[in-house]
Structure 1
Amino acid sequence: MKRVDVVYVLLFDSDEENILMVKNKGSHSSYYTLPGGAVENGETLEEAAIREVNEETGLNVELEGVFAVSEAFFEDRGHHAIFFTFKGRIVDGEIKISFPDEIEEITWMDAKIAERYAYIPTEAKDLINSKSIIPYILRGNVVHKP
């Protein structure tokens, strides 16, 4: 199976009651997710998360840290996906759909409803409204010398 790294960003509204969700156009049906997508070759997780949110929503974000890590096997696609969900905050921008062939809708969704769609491990669902995050640390290019 091919490993695929996927990043998502958990973004709350100013009252911290609603989560920003995107409705993706699928081959068989549409589905909601947090804004995010696949990490491109040569891209860090952080760069991918910031880029994906901007591409999908028109918003610029800062990441506060890692909220959850999960994984799944998509046997029909031959993918082993690792999902890195960051918690972030909106810096600026205006919500807009830049890729209407991929994104059908962008909406603020009640946190309890969003939990049903977001790739958040069951064990972490109680943490969705908490301030719990772990730092994301890019160690850079590491060269091991003998």
Structure 2
Amino acid sequence: MKRVDVAYVLLFDEQGENVLMVKNMGEKTSYYTLPGGAVEQGETLEEAAIREVKEETGFDIEVEGIFSIGEAFFEDRGHHAIFFTFRGKIIGGEINISMPEEIEEIIWMDAQKAEDYIHITNDTKGLINSISSVPYLLRERVINKS
């Protein structure tokens, strides 16, 4: 199976009540997710998260730490996906669907409703509103010079 890294970002509105969600156009049906997408070769997780949010929503963000890490196996595609979800903060830009072939809608969704779409399980309900996160640390890129 091919490993695929995916970076998402959890962004709240100014009141901290609603979560920014995008409606993706699927092959058979549309579905809501946090803004994000696949990490490109040579890109850090943080760089991918920032780029994907900009591409999908028009917002400039900064990453504030890790919210969650998850994984899934997509047998039909031969993918083992690792999902890195960051907490972030909007620092500029404005809502803009620049990829209408992929993104159908951008909305601010009630945080409790958003939990249903971002794979929060019954035993972790309410986690979305916790203020804690862990730092994202990028260690130096080490080039072996031996």
Indicate if the aligned counterparts of 2:112 and 2:126 stay in contact, CA closer than 8 A. no
For 1:8, the aligned partner's letter is: Y
CA distance in 2, matches of 1:138, 1:123: 30
Equivalent in the alignment of 1:79: 79
Does 1:98 pair with 2:98?
A: yes
Give the share of equivalent positions with the same residue, in percent. 68
Post-superposition shift, 1:118?
1.1
For 1:98, the aligned partner's letter is: S
TM-score norm. by structure 1 comes to 0.95
1:67-118 CA-to-partner distances (Å, cap 9, x unmatched) read 0000000111110000000000000101010000000000000001110111
Equivalent in the alignment of 1:19: 19
Using the TM superposition, name which of 135-144 and 72-81 deviates more: 135-144
Gaps of 5+ in 2: none
Equivalent in the alignment of 1:62: 62
For 1:15, the aligned partner's letter is: Q
| Aligned positions, number | 146
CA RMSD of aligned residues (A): 1.5
1:7-39 CA-to-partner distances (Å, cap 9, x unmatched) read 000000011110000000011110000000000
TM-score norm. by structure 2 comes to 0.95
Equivalent in the alignment of 2:34: 34
For 2:107, the aligned partner's letter is: T
